[in-house]
Amino acid sequence: MITHRSYTVEPWAVRETELNLDVLAQSESVFALSNGHVGWRGNLDEGEPHGLPGSYLNGVHELHPLPYAEAGYGYPESGQTVINVTNGKIIRLLVDDEPFDLRYGRLVRHERVLDLRRGVLERTCEWTSPAGSTVRVRSTRLVSLTQRAVAAVAYEVEAVGSRSRVVIQSELVANEQLPGASGDPRAAMALQSPLEQEDGFASGDRLRLVHRTRRSGLRVAVAADHVVTGPERTTTRSEADIDVARLTVTSVLEPGQTLRMEKIVAHGWSGTRSLPAMADQVDAALAAAAHDGWRGLLDDQRAHLDDFWDRADVEVDGDEEIQQAVRFALFHVLQAGARAERRAIPAKGLTGSGYDGHAFWDTEMFVLPVLTHSAPEAVAQALRWRHSTLDEARERAAQLGLGGAAFPWRTIQGAEGSAYWPAGTAAFHVNAGIADAVLRYVEATGDLDFEREAGVELLVETARLWRSLGHHDHHGVFHIDGVTGPDEYSAVADDNTYTNLMARQNLLAAADCVERHGREAQRLGVDEEESAAWRDAAQAIHIPFNDELGVHEQHAGFTRYQRWDFAGTRPEQYPLLLNFPYFDLYRKQVVKQADLVLAMYTCGAFFDDEQVARNFAYYEPLTVRDSSLSACVQAVVAAQAGHLRLAYDYTAEAALMDLADLEHNTRDGLHIASLAGTWMALVAGFGGMRQDGEGLRFTPRLPERLRRVAFRLQYRTRRLHVEIGAEKATYTLLAGPPLRLHHHGEALTVAADEPAVRAVPPVRPRTVPRQPAHRAPSNR
């Protein structure tokens, strides 16, 4: 999409210079605004035309049955789907009785700008109605990063050339009509009219609607207040009906005169609070927002983002598209988690309904590492949400005959939301991802209160699952059989290397943690015998290796499978999951997304440089990247193996996943994990950053195309700036006490006002591996 002539490449904005209805749904995702609690897709102010209307509240969902042709024990019976809640962003316009609809009349000019510094979506357009009246419309929209419940719009209409009678209708609308169901399993289930009205209110400039979901029983309240300025004799009238509350403003504008409306919208939901309590909640949120008004919201938004960019900015010299893309990525990752506050961070954030609004392992393994070093408070909240769902996870483990907790493959509120599916049901590695996120967060922040209050229990219950899921054979070797790793083209396999290595880390970390927190261990019933069993399992865990080929196996026996017929697979048959049966995929050497390669990043201490090179060379020709999670991981490990040009190509693929709509499903929402992977590719790939018990390690190297990459990050109480050039790297401490780190294995200490400069060693030349036919990344 970014390659269309209407989209410009700028370092701090995404700009659309004309309206393109053929990519309207994609642009609605790109221009979405969110704070992790409230999400507004980038629909046009007037509501129509639209691709996919979308207003979301994190956690608000509806239940639906999961039918099976044949029932089975342990099959989840109820699914969860995110719903489009009451839409508060609609502002309709009539000009001399003609609806302002950009499909009719003549559109003279139309521009939208997502401003990444100010956190707003701005729109300017000039339109001539079929009857010949011309108006200029300007709007600015934001979802507040500082006031969790609040979003707002400022909307202006100016008469151009002649006197015009204008009518603005500001609305709250529930149960909007949605597009029909899609055959793509990655799209959402279409639930029509999921909300039942309980209350409608309109008085003066105040509107409010309260609804309740039919099955999940969640109460949703949305209210709006308005400030209207215009010529004399401007009038207002408000009304409420079923599913609609409306403020109508009427005025006559002389040429050059403007009618302006500032609309502040408050949102709330609860599964327990009463109708009066919910009405009071959103009214109170409006009162708080009105205290500072529209200008105050804008100022607070800019201040919040100024602080964020001071902690998180990434600079790229030599590729303007990647520079724009990484800031776009960081902005949307921040939006996904900033105010989620003990709710999940869905795979699409709150930018669309793809994957039914579910959260997966993506959150812990891709999104939280970025936020750990840029907005760590959001990470603590996301992990506390996981902690709050432990009862459901324990119940699921017990249902499966396992100990500890089995966290769901996909969920909104904590229960498993996926129908039985071998690749998902057996993907226990989500447990290890949660444990890994706990370890990363505590190591990076030193937040021992979190570790004591939530981290210990998460580590203990995930370790208990691994100990019960695996077993020692007659030689004492510990195996974890019948699992699915990150690669969903392999399912119910034995000893998946990624899973086993991550479980090993999880088991050892849990044993260490209970030693540090004896009181919590006692409360959880952990004794020395149990923690010793964790250590025994970890130290004896089996890691499959093919001695003849000299490579680690993705899982036991993987390298003896028949290779997929890549030469006989046509380009249009990708992604394979939409064109071939899983039964065929499971029996072949074909990899949907980085699996063993991901293990070399997350558990890098287990592999030496030669193993990394050989493993990468073996799995690269098998990996088709039918998942948006793959390119960023391949970028990181390609850079580690010395294939810098290939790493650069993969970095671009991750960065442009949505801006270029590479998977042709950006219409359903952004790929938040792939966006996070852009940071991963630049910082962990070209920066070579790794975090372990001894602090931060860097092995920076740049591809020829990039002249310079610089990034900022938080670690403990420090803010660090790392600048990488072709021949040297500079480490500058921006705030905090001296920091010890490693550069290409050399220990050094960085202090304030004393940057450390080190040479970047040359890359050892290696033969660059090929990719499957038709699946090489675009050559930059």
Report the length, in residues, of the chain: 780
Say which of 488, 520, 653, 723 is annotated catalytic. 488
Residue the block writes with tokens 């999670």: 629
Phi-psi region of 217 (alpha: psi -120 to 50; beta: other; left: phi over 0): left
Look at residues 429, 335, 322, 309 and name the one whose alpha carbon lies nearest to residue 681: 322
Query: Residue-wise over 750-760: b if at least 16 C-beta within 10 A, else e?
Result: beeeeebeeeb
Distance from chain centroid for Cα 498:
22
| Cα angle value 586/588/590 (rounded, 5°) | 95
H-helix or E-strand spanning residue 110: strand 106-115
- DSSP run (H or E) holding 668: none
Which residues have a Cβ under 8 Å from the Cβ of 544 and sit 6 or more positions away? Answer: 495, 497, 552, 553, 555, 556, 557, 558
Cα–Cα distance between 120 and 143 in angstroms, integer?
A: 8
Angle, CA of 203, 224 and 336, to the nearest 5°: 165
Closest CA to 493 of 504, 484, 505: 484
* 391 CB neighbour count, 10 Å cutoff: 11
| Residue 70 appears among annotated catalytic residues | no
- Per the structure block, which two tokens stand in for 90? 């609609």
Which residue bears the tokens 């939530």?
454
Are residues 655 and 322 in contact, defined by beta-carbon separation less than 8 angstroms? yes
Cis before 49? omega within 30: yes
**Residue 223 contacts by C-beta under 8 Å, 6 or more apart in sequence?**
172, 201, 206, 207, 208, 209, 265, 266, 279, 282, 283, 285, 286
Q: Which two tokens stand for residue 645?
A: 């040009």
Q: Write out the two tokens for 383.
A: 């992990």
CA distance 347 to 45: 26
Find all residues with CB under 8 Å of 259, minimum gap 6, and list them: 156, 157, 166, 168, 228, 229, 230, 231, 234, 249, 251, 253
The pair of structure tokens assigned to 532 is 């010793």
d(C-alpha 460, C-alpha 526), whole Å: 8
Which whole-number Å values give the CA distances from 532 to 513, 515, 526, 655, in the listed order? 13, 11, 10, 44
Cα–Cα distance measured from residue 85 to residue 274, given in angstroms and rounded to the nearest whole number: 18
Half-sphere exposure of 714 (CA within 13 A, CB side): 24
Q: Are 20 and 661 in contact (CB under 8 A)?
A: no
What does the block give as tokens for 181?
């169901």
Write the DSSP symbol of residue 665. -
Active-site annotation, residues: 488
